[in-house]
Structure 1
Amino acid sequence: MSAPTTSGNHPPREQFSGQVGFILSAIGSAVGLGNIWRFPGVAYENGGGAFLIPYVIALLTAGIPILFLDYALGHRFRGGPPTVFRRVKRWLETLGWFQVMICFVIAIYYAAIIGWALSYFVYSFDLSWGDDTAGFFTGDYLQLSDTANGGAWFTLDFVPAVLIPLVLVWLAAIVVLVAGVAKGIQRANVVFLPLLVVAFGILVVRSLFLDGAVDGLNEFFTPNWTALGDPNVWIAAYSQIFFSLSVAFGIMITYASYRKRRANLTSPGLVVAFSNSGFELLAGIGVFSALGFLAHEQGVAVGDLEGISGPILSFVTFPAVVSQMPAGPLFGALFFGSLAMAGFTSLISILQVVSASFQEKFALRRQTAALWIGVVCAVLSVVGFSTTTGLFALDTIDNWSNNIGIVASAVLMCVFIVWALRRGPELRYHVNAISTFQVGRWWYACVGVIVPAVLAYMLVERIITLVEEPYEGYDPTYLLYVGWGTLVVLVVGAIALSLPRWRRDPEDFVAWPPFPSSSATTTSKEAAR
């Protein structure tokens, strides 16, 4: 049976030019800021070399299975999250818009971090941060409001050094979105991903030959086997895999929908998953080699250093490393250039979810949707994150949207798709019908039991912690409005966007290949056609 080239009265869908373009774009989405600044610290704090055991198990039992779930949904039902979930079951559309809202919120603050990286790329050439890298980052650069001494938690006092690169990031992102999937997103990844690998590879090799690098690597890889008995270490491993692969909030669903009907899904999925993990390991080697050098220069143990993960690692600790090493400006330019490229390829994938979803529901032209989405996001991004209180907002919104929003999305997706609607067999059949690597029945256990169980535990634990303790010691009223308010925005936005009528009926659709089970097809209008 030949694959249909169109779906009902819908126009032909954009497509990646081929498998290589898709793989590079998917890797570009997965490899982001978290690979560079989150994985090394998480691994170090959770058993060092021993952490790689739960990490690999989490990759095989959660990361790859849920990546296949995203691919199967997007490729079979041909759309962004709202379209896909609407075609699975009418009332499930709201979950699709919930994922879109998550992407919308993340894009707004994610761009700000890329702007910081661009600024520091320029600062690298003359080491503008001086000797006090912490003071420069929060004071001279961010001009952070001093809330400890009565400073405001929210202001509209714009910081030009943050505002200008942030505007440039948004202009570049809008240009890529307007150009489309093949001419925009794919071309950007074909250029930036190889550059990222080369630049970061040079940086890692250089780090390995620094004085003290071996001490850093020993600190990173020395296994603490007793840590494997701590449930929190295993939770940390699943958390890292989950957030690193860009799964369960619409990105891989949307990307898979741009593949040809007969496109292989599982083999490219394995390439993406292992490439992402490989880059994380590479980042860990580079980061801890550099930290070993810094500890050597300061005459302290690596374990005594502060700031080994997150923004502090990138914008405080690493500038301190750069300032003390030979050819520091070049090293700094490579690091912050890599950070900016990794962030940008992830940003455009996040924005594409939002743009594609609006295109499909409201029958908008690609250029129109890209411009509107880009401009609205840019304005909100500038107002919220280029001010003297931008860091507080970024930190708070990131915590709530990621640790609660994305995790809740993943749990709901697995429960509804696998348990409530029993669509697991259909999706497994779809993947196996067109792919070389066959997915066995083990996949049901992973996406139906392991993933929702682990993530539900993470979700409940995180909510309890946030209720009992003010996050990072921030003002409780501020956390109520900005933190919990973020969740309200996600939910209300998802419901509101589900209410308008579709300009084109999403259920006027043919799912291919036909699922042979009569019991499944009779419950699904679109799959029975």
Structure 2
Amino acid sequence: MMERERWTSRMAFVMAAIGSAVGLGNVWRFPFVAYQNGGGAFLIPYLVALFTAGIPLMILEYGLGKMMQAGAPVAFAKVRNKLEWIGWWAILVGFTIVIYYAVVMAWCWGYLYHSLSLSWRGRAESFFYKDFLGLSDGPGKLGGLRLPVVLGLVLTWASIVWIVQHGVRRVGRVVMVTVPLPVLLLAIFVLRGVTLPGASEGLKFYLTPDFSKLAEPRTWLAAYGQIFFSLSLAFGIMIAYASYLHERADVNNNAFITALANCGTSYFAGFAVFTVLGYMAHVVGKPVAEVVSGGPGLAFVTYPTAISLLPTVPAIFGFIFFLTLLSLGIDSAFSLVEAAVTAVHDRWPISRRRATWLLSGIAFLGGLLFTTKGGLYWLDIVDHFANNYGLVGVGLAESLIVGYVLGAERFREHVNMDSEVKLGRWWDFCIKFLTPAILGILVVWSLAREFESPYSGYPGWALLAGGWGVILLQINLGVALMSRMAFLKVSLPASASLVVLAVLLKLLPPMWIMFTVASVILYGGLAWSLFRARRRI
């Protein structure tokens, strides 16, 4: 058996892990979430979430990868054979995300070109949605492919393939450039931003604490959600990366370094965002609250508008901003592919190069859906369900498996052996009780909002196809990759039953729903019991 590839140094591993964790969300999600949930006061639940969920889960994934010396599917199979599908579920959730994440990077390539002439000047919103994306009226109208976006997608996947196909040694060299680069570029924006008129007002909105928000459960759930989504957890990435560590490598302190560096970058990015937005509000004569936005709207509409208003060399700052987004995104993108390549390479006798090209080709073709005129709608739907149910579901499963099947105390003793920072029983409590409880509450909270009103007003068929359908597909494919028999006997019938139940709930009046459920449970249960007892009658 070939000896497993290794990182060239501890620095290479840590930088790669930080690069995976630090992504586009650090710029367009954290500052906005912080502003919405108490400004400076949000740091209190944010730090509590970091030390009670983020770091414990990162230690779990690092430790599992190093202990089992394998990617997520094989690692979980080594815990117990029937748990291999959990690893595949993690990989498939991450693979789904990189399919559309690469399209967002394709937008960045396009905007990198358009920044040279500030093509969006004076009409950033219509330029992005109409000129650049050619946005249709809804998810049911795909329209044609947007060729500039397709070209950007080709550039993105060419970069990913070039990095991943040569293994973690090349990854280790690449991240020495791509991890510090966006921090330096953000520093340029911070230095420029604080010199602009109105910057102080922007920072007030970002940092002024509203301690009343701490009494709201929504603020704490937002903090745990932000930590969970920000650290590249539950993708199988950190398990894969840690599997290339030497068996005596540190786990705990590496997790602390990675998590703190990621969160520090998020906090720092807020200064770059809000100083410039404060200046924009000053120029247009509006309150900062009226110009603040989050998500893609911040990156491709609001911030470009602010850049075009800069008094000197706005085109240069536009180029720097989208270069920053590209350098942030590429590490996260190729880490998602690396996790999948590691899983396939560990499971079957296929070369790393062939696995990289195969998976990248599939992902590229899948990504073409999101390059259509209706692609933004599907991107939004898939992203919502993959994050709120896919990732949270995997994270919950990981906690329960390590906490109760593998054994939290046994696992803690293993990672403590070679680590510079020793864990106490607090880690056991977090993994066995606190983290599963928080993730369970996040799922229930998301489901409650789902039943309250359809996500973003999308039609039910679109949410079923791009949301619940994708989640069921990931789980079933994960089970099928583990065992065809388990898929046919357990996973497929269970999924079919859920689909039938959903249809019944949608179509039947309450009386007939209760009649059907009662009949199935009572008479179906009786039939099953009689079948089991047939040999003794």
TM-score, normalised to structure 2, is: 0.88
Instruction: Tell me how far 1:129 sits from its aligned partner.
Output: 1.1
Unaligned runs of 5+ in 2: 486-537
Deviations 1:92-119 (A, max 9, x none): 1010110011011011000001111111
- Report whether the alignment pairs 1:202 with 2:188: yes
Deviations 1:207-242 (A, max 9, x none): 111111000001110010100000110000011011
Alpha-carbon distance between aligned partners in 2 of 1:194 and 1:64, rounded to the nearest angstrom: 22
1:436-447, aligned counterparts within 5 Å?
436-447=420-431
- Report whether the alignment pairs 1:408 with 2:399: no
**Contact 1:153-1:392 at 8 Å conserved across structures:** no
Percent of counterpart pairs with the same letter? 38
Q: Matched residue of 2:88: which SS?
A: helix
Unaligned runs of 5+ in 1: 1-9, 502-529
Alpha-carbon distance between aligned partners in 1 of 2:440 and 2:410, rounded to the nearest angstrom: 25
Question: What amino acid maps onto 2:346 in structure 1?
Answer: E
Q: Matched residue of 2:179: which SS?
A: helix
Question: What amino acid maps onto 1:425 in structure 2?
Answer: E
Instruction: Tell me how far 1:154 sits from its aligned partner.
Output: 4.3
Structure 2 match to 1:337:
323
Q: Matched residue of 1:317: which SS?
A: helix
Instruction: Tell me how far 1:349 sits from its aligned partner.
Output: 0.5
Question: What amino acid maps onto 2:158 in structure 1?
Answer: L
Instruction: Tell me how far 1:493 sits from its aligned partner.
Output: 1.2
Q: 1:328 aligns with which of 314, 334, 359?
A: 314
**Contact 1:124-1:329 at 8 Å conserved across structures:** yes
Alpha-carbon distance between aligned partners in 2 of 1:468 and 1:278, rounded to the nearest angstrom: 35
Structure 2 match to 1:458:
442
Structure 2 match to 1:369:
355
Question: What amino acid maps onto 2:219 in structure 1?
Answer: V
Instruction: Tell me how far 1:417 sits from its aligned partner.
Output: 2.0
- Report whether the alignment pairs 1:134 with 2:114: no
Structure 2 match to 1:263:
249
Q: Matched residue of 1:155: which SS?
A: coil
Higher percent of residues as helix: 2
- Report whether the alignment pairs 1:392 with 2:383: no
Alpha-carbon distance between aligned partners in 2 of 1:156 and 1:96, rounded to the nearest angstrom: 36
Question: What amino acid maps onto 1:476 in structure 2?
Answer: G
Q: 2:234 aligns with which of 212, 233, 248?
A: 248
Instruction: Tell me how far 1:500 sits from its aligned partner.
Output: 6.2
Structure 1 runs of 4+ off > 4 angstroms? none
Q: 1:84 aligns with which of 75, 98, 121?
A: 75
Alpha-carbon distance between aligned partners in 2 of 1:425 and 1:416, rounded to the nearest angstrom: 13
Q: 1:216 aligns with which of 195, 202, 211?
A: 202
Instruction: Tell me how far 1:356 sits from its aligned partner.
Output: 0.8
**Contact 1:117-1:336 at 8 Å conserved across structures:** yes
Alpha-carbon distance between aligned partners in 1 of 2:360 and 2:482, rounded to the nearest angstrom: 21
Deviations 1:118-177 (A, max 9, x none): 111111111011211111111000001023xxxx62425111111101111011111111
**Contact 2:79-2:406 at 8 Å conserved across structures:** no
Structure 2 match to 1:162:
149
1:57-68, aligned counterparts within 5 Å?
57-68=48-59
Change in Cα spacing, 1:171 to 1:500, as seen in structure 2 (3 Å) is farther
Instruction: Tell me how far 1:11 sits from its aligned partner.
Output: 2.0
**Contact 1:44-1:220 at 8 Å conserved across structures:** yes
Instruction: Tell me how far 1:416 sits from its aligned partner.
Output: 2.2
**Contact 1:16-1:259 at 8 Å conserved across structures:** yes
Structure 2 match to 1:232:
218
**Contact 1:404-1:463 at 8 Å conserved across structures:** no
1:497-508, aligned counterparts within 5 Å?
497-499=481-483
Q: Matched residue of 1:113: which SS?
A: helix
Q: 1:484 aligns with which of 468, 477, 483?
A: 468
Alpha-carbon distance between aligned partners in 1 of 2:238 and 2:77, rounded to the nearest angstrom: 17
Alpha-carbon distance between aligned partners in 1 of 2:329 and 2:309, rounded to the nearest angstrom: 26
Structure 1 match to 2:493:
none
Q: 1:32 aligns with which of 23, 36, 40?
A: 23
Structure 2 match to 1:180:
167
Q: How many residues align?
A: 484
Deviations 1:459-494 (A, max 9, x none): 111122223311111122111111111112111111
Question: What amino acid maps onto 1:431 in structure 2?
Answer: V
Q: 1:469 aligns with which of 443, 448, 453?
A: 453
Alpha-carbon distance between aligned partners in 2 of 1:397 and 1:467, rounded to the nearest angstrom: 17
Q: Matched residue of 1:456: which SS?
A: helix
Question: What amino acid maps onto 1:415 in structure 2?
Answer: L
Question: What amino acid maps onto 1:157 in structure 2?
Answer: G
Structure 1 match to 2:295:
310
Question: What amino acid maps onto 2:153 in structure 1?
Answer: L
Q: Matched residue of 1:423: which SS?
A: helix
Instruction: Tell me how far 1:422 sits from its aligned partner.
Output: 4.4
Change in Cα spacing, 1:178 to 1:154, as seen in structure 2 (3 Å) is farther
Q: Matched residue of 1:179: which SS?
A: coil
Question: What amino acid maps onto 1:316 in structure 2?
Answer: V
Question: What amino acid maps onto 2:360 in structure 1?
Answer: G
Alpha-carbon distance between aligned partners in 2 of 1:276 and 1:368, rounded to the nearest angstrom: 32
Structure 1 match to 2:500:
none
Instruction: Tell me how far 1:334 sits from its aligned partner.
Output: 1.4
**Contact 1:68-1:269 at 8 Å conserved across structures:** yes
Structure 1 match to 2:338:
352
Alpha-carbon distance between aligned partners in 1 of 2:10 and 2:429, rounded to the nearest angstrom: 29
Deviations 1:156-213 (A, max 9, x none): 5111111101111011111111111112x21221121122121121122111111110
Q: Matched residue of 2:102: which SS?
A: helix
- Report whether the alignment pairs 1:153 with 2:140: yes
